[in-house]
Amino acid sequence: MKRLSTLVRIAIVCVMVISSILVAASSAQVSTPESVPYPDGYREWMHVKSALITPQSRGFKRFGGLHNIYANAKALEGYRTGVFADGAVIVADFLETQEKDGDISEGKRRFIDVMQKDSKRFAQTGGWGFEEFSSDSKTERTLTNPTKECFQCHTTKQESGFVFSSMRK
């Protein structure tokens, strides 16, 4: 009987330790840049602008093709006022292009980049969380260090709320 109670105590301690680890891991995930969610329905948002990145561009290897920017309602207000409120989401959709009979159209998706404004969660990166989703995947994330891979460049745009794009005129 004494041996059984010792085993029960050990089991309880193990469960408590594992539970603590899981709680800590899930709490840490909430504040990590990887927690920026996939922006379902973003192609139904306002289209802000497009660009065609040609072979003459230095960034062609990574970004070549058609580049569309979409914004949710809060991001649109930020474009209009210059102040992006929490809840603003901007999506950069990078697509290959295909040519047929002289017409160029969008091809396969390369990736989407997502910026989500949350001043508390992302205080160290100007209030923005960054993420990149591969191809058409809603789960395959490609960034390992968003601060280095994204925010480092976005710091050059502090005067425009860390946003590169602007509303088309």
User: Residue 88 sits in which domain range?
Assistant: 42-160
Query: Is residue 61 situated within a structural domain?
Result: yes
Q: What integer pLDDT is reported at residue 2 of this predicted model?
A: 57
End-to-end alpha-carbon separation of the chain, Å?
80
Stated as kind and residue range, the H or E segment containing 16 is helix 2-30
CATH number at residue 75: 3.50.70.20
Q: What integer pLDDT is reported at residue 27 of this predicted model?
A: 35
- The answer to whether 124 touches 114, Cβ cutoff 8 Å, is no
- Tens digit of pLDDT at every position of the chain (169 positions): 555 565 555 545 444 444 444 444 433 333 354 489 999 999 999 999 999 999 999 999 999 999 999 999 999 999 999 999 999 999 999 999 999 999 999 999 999 999 999 999 999 999 999 999 999 999 999 988 887 888 888 888 888 888 988 886 5
Query: Is residue 128 situated within a structural domain?
Result: yes
Number of domains in the chain: 1
Query: Is residue 57 situated within a structural domain?
Result: yes
Query: Is residue 114 situated within a structural domain?
Result: yes
Q: What integer pLDDT is reported at residue 164 of this predicted model?
A: 80
Query: Is residue 149 situated within a structural domain?
Result: yes
Query: Is residue 125 situated within a structural domain?
Result: yes
